[in-house]
Amino acid sequence: MKHAVLINNAHIENFSVRHLGAYLRSRGFRVSIIHYESRKESVFEPMPVRALEMLADFCKEVDLVGITLLTTHLVPRCRQITRYLKDRITAPVIWGGPPVIADPVQFLDEADLVCAGEGEAVMEQLLNRVPFHQIPGLGYAAADGRARVNDLPPMLEVNDLPIPRVDLENGYVLTESGLVPMKDTVPDTLSTYSVLMVRGCPYQCAYCLNSRLRQVFEGKGPYVRKIEVGRVMEELVWAKTHIPHLRRIIIDDDDFFLNSEDRMARFLDRYMKEIGLPVFYIQANTRQITEKKLDILVNSGLDLRYLKIGLQSGSQRISKEIFHRPLDRQAYLKKLEMVMKRNIRVMIDVISDNPYDTLADKYAVLMFYLDILKRIPDPSIERPVKIYDHKLMYYPGTPLYEKVLKDGHIRADYVNQVLLKRSTLRLHEEDRDHDALMVALFNTAANRKPFHRTAHLLLRVLAVPPVFRAAVRYRLAKVLNRWI
């Protein structure tokens, strides 16, 4: 029986290895999944030599090794693993994932093979020894040394695929002390389980690789595909039954509210009857939020910790011209008010440290934050709304990457010098800037705990135009951020 090993450098419930593993097993192959779990900034740490040795030993007799590249930030780890394995095993190493799909030729410098589209059928045909030139969606180096990327096949019908459960039977957790079979010890970190009801994102934001992926798959079938409610529930029932430490669920659709009222109602009704666990978050775009859908959500009795709603920038100019996601300020505030009055806790995603922000844009953001604070119900639940701040980073293949490179805001070595060394998390000293100060003051004011009145007062003082200009010019944030 042909044997494939899938290596996962992200969280254990990573969708990529789940889908690939389930598909290949359904086709009669042996599949082993090795998790070297990394979260947040730990993804930049190299794998210890002892772990690499155990990995190479495990892969010595296999037929194919697949490495999933969830984000460009994982390139150093994937590169380290690939280079170590190449000298010690005979099986080819194939890379896949969004960055690879966005620019497959680039990654042929790293791996033996690359997957330029969805990976299920590509890996199946590789294991069946189909010649490279006959495998749709495969990237490889031809006999003449030139890179070849075969045309993509039609996109998969998601409801015909096997259910992508986390593989406890054939999964391993790699540590410095050994390869621990998950069938013997389910890791404590697997306390959250993620599912999808909708595969694919309908939006094309300039900073997101999804804008590139939609171009790649154009003409290959529906990009946004809905998964049958019964299949989602079957997976969740399995997870609740087999994962002993399971405490909560994430419904990880890019926009849960793309589901129709009927689908939402049917899913939530079954979820509460058969699962009933808290849902850590669901994500939404205000375009899809309606009173009726919110009522369905609330009336279901779901214990929802956060509804994540993207904002990215409170400046209409930045939203439209730079991020390619137009913002209707009044419509956004109206939808946010609809959510908060139902006591649904909100997490708002924003993107900061933008070189295209002018003083007017920064002021527009401040005023928008104040408008949100005005709409918090009184009385309200604890922490009714929180802003989660991300550093603006540029990913090859996106329209924004091309723009900042052309405009001289980044250098040609940006990927190696920045993307491969830090994430979007605003944890560094360099991140203690004006944008971070505005977010810190907002979150303190919104929490309505000690100092919330002081934070709100500071925001209102900063809203006085001469004060605001002076604060930005003289970098008041560097001083105040040390106290907030």
14-23, 90-99, 466-475, range with the lowest pLDDT: 466-475
Pull the structure tokens for residue 13.
């419930």
Tell me, what amino acid is at 89?
A: I
The model's pLDDT over 401-422, given as tens digits with 9 standing for 90+, comes to 999 999 999 999 999 999 999 9
Question: Does 425 score more than 90 pLDDT?
Answer: no
**Whole-angstrom distance, CA of residue 2 vs CA of residue 13:** 25
User: What does the pLDDT look like over 125-140, one tens digit per residue?
Assistant: 999 999 999 999 999 9
Residue 241: band (very low, low, confident or very high) from pLDDT cuts 50, 70, 90: very high
Q: Using 50, 70 and 90 to split pLDDT, how confident is the model at 484?
A: low
How many angstroms separate the CA atoms of 248 and 151, rounded? Answer: 40
> Which three-class secondary structure state does DSSP give residue 113?
strand
Q: Give the tens place of pLDDT for each residue, 36-53.
A: 977 666 788 889 999 999
What residue segments make up the domains of the chain, in order of their start? 3-171, 188-480
The predicted model gives 134-162 an average pLDDT of 96
Across-strand partners of 192? 248
**Numbers of helices and strands, H then E, in the chain:** 19, 17
Residues 40/67, Cβ–Cβ less than 8 Å: no
Q: Which distant-in-sequence residues (6+ apart) come within 8 Å of 197 by Cβ?
A: 226, 227, 229, 232, 251, 253, 256, 259, 263, 267
What is the pLDDT, as a whole number, of residue 259?
97
List helix spans (H) across 69-216.
75-86, 98-102, 104-107, 120-127, 210-216
Mean pLDDT taken over the chain: 94
> What confidence score (pLDDT) does residue 42 get?
78
Q: What is the pLDDT of residue 40?
A: 63
pLDDT mean over 185-191? 90
Q: What pLDDT is stored for residue 240 in this prediction? A: 97
**b/e map of 134-165 (b: 16 or more CB within 10 Å)?**
ebebbbbeeeeeeebebebeebbebeebbebb
CA neighbor of 206 nearest in space, from 468, 443, 402 = 402
Query: 3-state class of 192 per DSSP?
Result: strand
Question: What distance lies between CA 132 and its chain's CA centroid?
Answer: 31
CATH topology of domain 3-171: Rossmann fold (3.40.50)
Please compute the mean of the pLDDT values over residues 144-155 and round it to a whole number: 95
Average pLDDT over residues 43-64: 93
Q: Which residue type, as a one-letter code, is found at position 478?
A: K
Position 119 confidence tier, pLDDT thresholds 50, 70, 90: very high
Which residues 6+ apart lie within 8 Å of 378 measured at CB? Answer: none
How many Cα atoms sit within 13 Å of 171 on the Cβ side? 24
| Residue-level length of the chain | 484
Lowest mean pLDDT among 119-123, 270-274, 473-477: 473-477
Neighbours of 123 (CB within 10 A): 26
Lowest-confidence pick of 21-35, 394-408, 414-428? 414-428
Residue 480: pLDDT band (50, 70, 90) is: low
Domain 188-480, what architecture?
Alpha-Beta Horseshoe (3.80)
In 3D, which of 340, 98, 337 has the Cα closest to residue 208?
98
Closest to 260 (Cα-Cα) out of 197, 196, 335: 197
Joined together, the tokens standing for residue 438 give: 């505005």
> What is the rounded CA–CA span in Å between residue 380 and residue 344?
10
pLDDT at 450 over 90: no
**pLDDT over 70 at 90, yes or no:** yes
Backbone phi, psi, residue 304, to 5°: -100, 120
pLDDT tens per residue, range 298-350: 999 999 999 999 999 999 999 999 999 999 999 999 999 999 999 999 999 99
Indicate the pTM of the whole model: 0.93
Q: What average pLDDT does range 363-368 have in this prediction?
A: 98
Distance CA 106, CA 141 (A): 12
% of the chain exceeding 70 in pLDDT: 98
